[in-house]
Chain A
């Protein structure tokens, strides 16, 4: 590789020696290095993904055919609730934070995250939160069973499992806020010389905006669940109608958090595929600046559309129209993003390694999720769909085929950088096709179930819904199986994969992380990358020279 690169390796060898002296406990429990913390986050997220996934399979097993075969209805509700909470707060969000930790400093030429000790703190809040959630299954009354939305008065009636869930949410929220502060400070303050904001990789932009969203809404959720807690135990009546409270107020507060939250799980995915697609199309990202603007407008609009989750609570026609129009409007910037990705592929010189496959899969399926979202935005049509399986289909298209697929893509993309070894391409592609097929078998039929009127969150159903449910269950089990294969792939790569990876295994990759060795040494960019390296990358990304700001 380049001479600049060799210069970089020299000091890092010393550090490699130092590493040998730190004990396992010191390295992982007191971790302050962004790469170690990133790794911790990613493993934590994966274990939560498996935990939440097992719950999903328990749900699907019960729904395989009509009648109750496995669970009592109350336990079924606990499963759906914790599946949702764990997937959202335990799997997807920490996985993105982990990626940001690992990759942001490398990509923007920073030596570490801005607040290394706080970074350790924000990670170590997660395991206790997860433990609280798991323990809650064993307390009297069982785990929270009011759905991940925790609507009162149902959640006020519940047993102490709800209190544990509330505390867990407090911890998770704290962790997210700290993680976000770290990301914002890092991105704003320690970029390499020559890398202005509008020359930063798009992943940096989307993580930055996501972090702002989180800082804005995590306290809102914390407030809402704290009010729930005092309603439950200290006789306040925020949400209790018997004391003059308003149960709908909770929904407004919850969704003021909850709608931006769904973008917190989507924007980083946008960033990831905006890195991967140009790499494998061997072309600069099309419309970089409009990508940034689109991301910002999505973020801003996401604060103004929460009411579309509440079309059935009974709001005046004018309010419904307001939320309907604004929600539809989000389709414009989202469309711009999709068009830009396609224009990036257009006239490219494409290859289809696993990360690219997951990214193309993402574009296709996220668009399907976007279309069903548009249908749900139309308030009168939503009358038929709200709280049916159509909604379940819709959000799994954006969360599984969106967030999760982008994470798979990211893993394959950066795995050589993390481990120093190449993954087995054939196995990666098998994982993609397997997931792609069974994902659709699982979730596509749910659109039909929803159209035909099957409510969500029910443990049993009329026979008319049998066939599609059986199909979805078969799909889910196969999909789940495929994720064991993914784990196997990753472990295989860690243990040597199919051979050593070069610093830049991808022909079309031009961002800074590919300038350091693979595996990325424990300490990188202790001296910021030279202007020369930065500008070389920017030119290749089309961000310098003919690029107007």
Chain B
């Protein structure tokens, strides 16, 4: 008998971890958890009191027991009491909550600032103090996800919560996260740290956390952002300060190696290949992967600008016009590459090429 009871209980106990917030990993998350626990106790007591009275009435004051109705229907004293007492309880709950709000909103004195940009559908991170910059994409294989008609391969433990490059931060440092977006509203959420902040195009918002332990923590985009909304996890790897310094060093070296050598001589094909990745990193959100655009964003296929003089095409990319932003923040090589790519893709066959030196000249 006891065995059976235990066997029945075990899954419930194992489940207990899934029935509350993920274990708190920051002071704010602890405070939120405590606040929630406190509220639950208050609610439980009120619930038992109020429903105790109701179920007593339901059990005892029934017609089938011969209970006659007492037609009272007013009592000023109790009506005042049950307005004032709940109000007092609410004030008692609001007080500790207000303290947490104020602490949560205080993003001053942060030690590291990272910009998190939402894209459809992945996150981009930029370490503003270290010049490190990368994108963080879901690595779960589509074969695992799509099971139509009984197909699909086995799922790993971190199914849908795994990325190629997690955000890496040092433990015990106040990290300020700036959020913004490249297209629609996303939301950067990390329950273990008690953080959820919308990433809004055209605006920059901020939030912060200070991780208490090393380890890998997982969250997900929390604002409906289109078809792959369910597939843009947030993964944060918290490491020691030393490991963080090593990691930053390595990333900086990689960035240097990957950056374009200004003296490199580019061929047209190299420019097209490079241009493709620039396009996919920046332009496709509006003009779409096939260049056909959508809504107010014009198609590049057969476009007057793309097929016209290369200088006008370059001018459009450098200076922008109406809804088209100026892309002058891209490097000379990137601009040269993307212009060359656009003129020779999507069915466009202008055949010419733009070189980094031309862009450099045009900037002056």
Q: Does A243 contact B (CB under 8 A)?
A: yes
Query: Contacts A336-B82, A345-B61: A312 and B198 contacting too (C-beta < 8 A)?
Result: yes
- Looking at chain B's contact residues, the main secondary structure is mixed
Do B69 and A314 have beta carbons less than 8 Å apart? no
Do A335 and B224 have beta carbons less than 8 Å apart? no
Do A542 and B226 have beta carbons less than 8 Å apart? no
Q: Mark A345-374, 1 if CB is under 8 A from B, else 0.
A: 111111110000000100110010001001
Do B73 and A285 have beta carbons less than 8 Å apart? yes
Q: Does A460 contact B (CB under 8 A)?
A: yes
Query: Contacts A336-B79, A345-B58: A461 and B230 contacting too (C-beta < 8 A)?
Result: yes
Do A452 and B18 have beta carbons less than 8 Å apart? yes
Instruction: List residues of chain A with CB within 8 A of the CB of B187.
Output: 312, 387
Query: Contacts A69-B147, A453-B22, A463-B159: A153 and B183 contacting too (C-beta < 8 A)?
Result: yes
Do A383 and B196 have beta carbons less than 8 Å apart? yes
Q: Does B247 contact A (CB under 8 A)?
A: no
Instruction: List residues of chain B with CB within 8 A of the CB of A245.
Output: 202
CB distance from A457 to the nearest CB of B (A): 5
Q: Does A242 contact B (CB under 8 A)?
A: yes
Do A241 and B203 have beta carbons less than 8 Å apart? yes
Instruction: List residues of chain B with CB within 8 A of the CB of A346.
Output: 53, 57, 61
Do A151 and B19 have beta carbons less than 8 Å apart? no
Query: How many residues of chain A get a CB closer than 8 Å to chain B's CBs?
Result: 100
CB distance from B161 to the nearest CB of A (A): 5
Do A324 and B205 have beta carbons less than 8 Å apart? no
Do B15 and A384 have beta carbons less than 8 Å apart? no
Beta-carbon nearest neighbor of A508 in chain B? B69
Q: Does B165 contact A (CB under 8 A)?
A: no
CB distance from B32 to the nearest CB of A (A): 5
Which of B36, B225, B323 sits near A243, CB closer than 8 Å? B323
Do A248 and B203 have beta carbons less than 8 Å apart? yes
Instruction: List residues of chain B with CB within 8 A of the CB of A145.
Output: 226-227
Instruction: List residues of chain B with CB within 8 A of the CB of A243.
Output: 322-323
CB distance from B74 to the nearest CB of A (A): 6
Beta-carbon nearest neighbor of A286 in chain B? B73
Q: Does A378 contact B (CB under 8 A)?
A: yes
Instruction: List residues of chain A with CB within 8 A of the CB of B102.
Output: 317
Interface size class of B (residues with CB under 8 A): 35 or more
Give the distance in Å from the alpha carbon of A547 to the alpha carbon of B194 in the complex: 52
Total contacts A to B, CB within 8 angstroms?
298
Query: Contacts A154-B185, A350-B57: A314 and B73 contacting too (C-beta < 8 A)?
Result: no
Do A335 and B86 have beta carbons less than 8 Å apart? yes
Do A242 and B202 have beta carbons less than 8 Å apart? yes
Beta-carbon nearest neighbor of B20 in chain A? A451
Instruction: List residues of chain A with CB within 8 A of the CB of B106.
Output: 317
Do A235 and B82 have beta carbons less than 8 Å apart? no
Binds A, one of B92-100, B167-175, B258-266, B353-361: B92-100
Q: Does B197 contact A (CB under 8 A)?
A: yes
CB distance from A382 to the nearest CB of B (A): 9
Q: Mark A503-538, 1 if CB is under 8 A from B, else 0.
A: 000000000000000000000000000000000000
Do B229 and A458 have beta carbons less than 8 Å apart? yes
Binds B, one of A13-21, A266-274, A326-334, A401-409: A326-334
Q: Does B134 contact A (CB under 8 A)?
A: no
Do A380 and B62 have beta carbons less than 8 Å apart? no
Instruction: List residues of chain B with CB within 8 A of the CB of A314.
Output: 179, 197-198, 200, 203, 205-207
CB distance from B110 to the nearest CB of A (A): 16
Q: Does B31 contact A (CB under 8 A)?
A: yes
Which of B205, B220, B325 sits near A458, CB closer than 8 Å? B220
Q: Does A156 contact B (CB under 8 A)?
A: yes
CB distance from A349 to the nearest CB of B (A): 4
Which of A312, A338, A452 sits near B19, CB closer than 8 Å? A452
Beta-carbon nearest neighbor of A330 in chain B? B90
Q: Does A98 contact B (CB under 8 A)?
A: no
10 tightest A-B CB contacts, nearest first: A241-B202, A458-B230, A314-B205, A317-B105, A284-B73, A67-B147, A349-B69, A74-B227, A380-B100, A347-B70
Could you pull out 9 A-B pairs where Cβ atoms are within 8 angstroms? A77-B226, A157-B183, A344-B73, A352-B62, A367-B47, A384-B196, A448-B18, A453-B189, A455-B189
